[in-house]
Chain A
Amino acid sequence: MTDEIVAGTVTITGHGGDELEAYLAKPTDPTPRGGVVVIHHMPGYDAATKEMVRRFAVEGYNALCPNLYTREAPGADPDDAAATVRAAGGVPDDRLVGDVSGAADYLRALENANGRIGVIGHCSGGRQAFLSGCSLDLDAAVDCYGAFVVNDPPEAMKQMKPLLGLAPQLSCPLLGLFGADDQFPGPDEVAVLAAELEKLGKEHEFHTYAGAGHSFFSVDRPSYRPEAAKDGWERIFDFYSRTLTA
């Protein structure tokens, strides 16, 4: 038993067979373990996201974050890449699913993989984590304040569709972590999603934190809420300990 991890950039195969840059962190211990696909937020494949990837490895999981902006901005700074992809209209949903699928395949092929895969995303990545759970055969999904899962996005965001209609295809338990003061998604949107999952008999666990708004996990932003984030991390690891253990 060792607490050693290794982390660094790898190349994975994403949607359409495209080669993508990805950040991998994994324990060196050969004991079989679950894998977590970390979907970066809209500001990109940044230092804060890579820190999350390493945290999953420290907690005993193989973790991998594909750079969803590799195609448009190879080698660019995360903020420049995010600006480029935003100007081009964002990441299409089908491409996102293909990239997450490629990341899951990479994790399943690791020597110390137990075959179980979870996904997690924050903000835009929260919506994409739900989308992934409804589109791929996964073992766990964590949606941290993903907007436009239930409600229609504003008129100008025509390329983005609500995802509630996909809920019958949700393949895995869903953990949802939300802020009571968030408007995107607001508590009403979260309640509609919870009711739909209840109706469908889909296993889910939602927590909404008082005094927290959007991005309460972000330690480098004014929206950071230590109490909510601390409890949220505990919920995430409790959830994965139940869902990603073979």
Chain B
Amino acid sequence: MCTYLTEKFALEGSGKGARGWFRLNEGTVYVDHPVHAPYGHTVNIDFRNPGLGASARVALELTEEDALALADAIHAAVKSAPAGLASRNQ
């Protein structure tokens, strides 16, 4: 199915896309058909900068197990570093 449902959040950082590095300001997460991954549905994660055009996007298509493992790994990595080391207010 096309879920239509999209989780969207503002962010600060950079990503590397087809034309090199660029600043990011928006993330979206949704469960829907992948373009490339060999599954019917995947957890799709986009890091974007709409102001630079539709192609300013870093895209992931992950199984739900692996998307959740990614979330856990992010939590673990942040927890293992000194608090606030990678904060927006570092």
Contacts and interface: CB of A to CB of B under 8 A. Distances in A.
Given A215-B40, A221-B33, A223-B40, A87 B26 contact: yes
Interface in B20-35: 26, 28, 30, 32-33, 35
Interface stretch (A99-107, A152-160, A166-174, A191-199): A152-160
A14 B30 CA distance: 29
Interface string A36-52: 00000111001000000
A42 B54 contact: no
A80 B40 contact: no
A90 B30 CA distance: 13
A43 to B, nearest CB: 6
Main secondary structure of the interface of B (DSSP, over half): loop
A184 B30 CA distance: 16
Interface residues of B, number: 24
Interface residues on A, range: 20 to 34
Interface of A: 41-43, 46, 72-73, 76-77, 79-81, 83-84, 86-87, 90, 123-124, 147, 153-154, 156-157, 160, 182-184, 213-215, 221-223
Interface of B: 1-2, 4-6, 8, 26, 28, 30, 32-33, 35, 38-40, 44, 46, 48, 50, 53-55, 57, 59
